[in-house]
Chains A and B, each alone.
Chain A
Amino acid sequence: MNRLEASRALVSALGDEPVIASLGHPAYDLFAAGDRKSNFYTWGSMGLASSLGLGLALARPALRVFVVDGDGSLLMNLGSLATIGSAKPANLVVIVWDNQEYGTTGGQASATAHGADLEAAARAMGIHATATVRTEEGLRAAIVRARTDAGPWVIVAKVAESAPAVKPPLDCVFIKQRFMAAIGTAEAATRGSHQ
């Protein structure tokens, strides 16, 4: 399974749940799999996708929040696993596309190519709903569980690099406003006054 196939499997398994995508190839493949108003594409802030997901999950406990992160970006912010393991938001699902390399920057091997185990790291930080999957069937089954069963979830999906050829919208404010409207938190400044 490559990351685009995995992204398609994710989108097809979801309803309108929000998905926050790490910058670069995870965001590109999420867009290629299906642009959705409830997709939040980051264009910077490497490492912070899971933190964004945690914040959204804390603000909206009734909303099941999905994150698509990369192995390199999660390794940049491993402390996030400790914070998620402490806060234990039941509605947060972090999916890690683990291609064992920095795919967006030319394919430098990441620590997971040398044995680092991000599922084990999540479990060591107190996150008990975890899985490592290697096939689309395994990924779909994990997502089905994660949509309903209590989290926080960390699903490590071993994927091949997919060399995406498309990019999501570049306008950050457009991405944000479309996303917030889709999840029911449209900014006051976009709504006008009805007094």
Chain B
Amino acid sequence: MAQMTRREFIRRLTALGAAAAGATVLGSAAGCAPQPGPAEPPPAPLVGATPTDPATVAPPIAAPKTAATPTLVASRAATIATPVPAGVAYLAVARGPSPAALVEAALGAIGGIARFVKPGQNVIIKPNICNASHGFEYASTTNPEVVAALVTLCLGAGARRVKVMDSPFSGTPEAAYRVSGIADAVQAAGGEMEVMASFKFEEVELPLGLDLRRLSIYQEALDADVLINVPIAKHHSMAGLTLGMKNLMGLITNRPIIHANFGQRLPDLASLLAPDLTVIDAVRILVDHGPTGGNLDDVRLTNTVIASHDLVAADAYATSLFGLAPEQIAHIVGGAKMGLGTMDLRAVEVAELAV
């Protein structure tokens, strides 16, 4: 056994003690309660969403035409402004019994996966895996078949690496990945699940942010060649609905700061972290008690998938599934006003497909 002099021991003990003290300080700093948002005047009027039966859905209300191409400078965000190729729909809605087929059909209508993924690229797919409490039938997490279909398509388009990730607000990532069924589906399709490491978050500027100017965001998502946003459409008590723009919150650490003003801060986040493609999983939707769910009575089997490069347009269309209009959701209005996309679906080509 090792023999030590007293000096050596004191040195080792001091090092150990210093590390212990340091780590305790580190740990207590990390464990601080989240900071409350600054005192804000109440946001733009948001009437409480009253979900109605989607069978009696009213068509989207025509809104004034939104502004033309904005001056977006951040590299990620520039993709929203990319013009749509000729002969391709702006937004596609596919309805049918097979989630995988819906994804393929919807993507096909907006130009195919090749429009978004080039050979050799690194792809990050961001589904909603917000809790480890319920399986996908409860419609609180994205349908694993939808995610797997996207993984397969991306690999088929020659992507070098397809990583799937989210940071749940309830439960550990490993547990959430497993309970949602997404880990198994993704691995079977040849993709990788990534547990989001805390050291990969970095504070960045939001140059286009009107309310929020700095935020800590997952670096890999910002640096990825392709970011595919795959939310599930759900009721949300504070935001009204949680769709594509809200889904981006899984890529940041400071949730409370967004909560303080959803209407403007979600668009601010989206202005930098704009995904290249948004695929809204509406195979099942959660019409009440979101975003956590847990009651099968709150789930509707709507067998729908919505796909678009335009995050705002996809969200705007999805409101109709809940019997709502895009104008009723503050962050959709905010996003359109900022020029991140359009919420006037009558002004763009919408392909409705029966699969």
| A and B associate in one complex | no
